[in-house]
Amino acid sequence: MNKKEELLHSITKQQLQDVGKILAGSFADDPFWNKMLIDLDEVQKALFFQCSIQYCMRYGKAYAASEVLKGIAGWVDSSKAKITVVRSILSGSFFTMMHMGRSSMTKMKQLMAMMEKLEKEKDKQMNKKDYIYFMIIGVQKRFQGKGYGGKLISKIINESETKKKSIYLETTTENNVRLYEKYGFTVKTIIDFPEYQLRQWGMERTIK
């Protein structure tokens, strides 16, 4: 374990509520999620982001960059990258989503359609390759730019190199694209959502 990884902590079930709030805050200024989640209140947004970490805790890895959750990330192997109903129930994320309430149902249908489009594009680009899916990463606003995101990215890169697997992720801004390029990721595809005038970039880091 290198010095960067010594600061990482596995997320616990007791931290999930805080994790959701922190991730919602870290994405508050993200143009994609700001627009997609505009109809949800703060509690619903926190529950939405909590679902991703719950899923990663069950089927992959979920880490924090410090004990006080300055940065949070989760990933899974490609065999678990597709979130099925059964997997969401077993991970608990299905029930977390239910707590978002009836008022969120229309928005959740839109989000599910969006994620299905991302899933199809991911399958097309990776073409049955065995890889690691970098599902989510977020850093508390006041700690952004201080290396906590880098610690989490370094962790998944180290794991991918140990397993000799590529990493695939989607990101929502050109600034993020440039950041990931510094870590060896390249753009594989651009996924447009014309109905919302939004887009995401699909990126891969291959093993050399």
The CATH code of the domain at 3-205 is: 3.40.630.30
Please report, rounded to a whole number, the percentage of residues in the chain having pLDDT higher than 90: 88
Backbone angles phi, psi at 7, to 5 degrees: -90, -5
Contact between residue 205 and residue 183 where contact means Cβ atoms under 8 Å apart: yes
Q: Where are the domains of the chain?
A: 3-205
SS (H, E, C) 28-94: CCCHHHHHHCCCCCHHHHHHHHHHHHHHHHHHEEEEECCCCCCEEEEEEEHHHCCCCHHHHHHHCHH
pLDDT, average across residues 129-146: 95
pLDDT of 90-120, one tens digit each? 999 999 999 999 888 888 899 999 999 999 9
Give the pLDDT confidence score for residue 7 in this predicted structure.
74
| 203 CA to centre of own chain | 13
Give the pLDDT confidence score for residue 181 in this predicted structure.
98
Its pTM stands at 0.94
What is the pLDDT of the chain when averaged over all its residues?
Answer: 93
Beta bridge partners of 199: 192
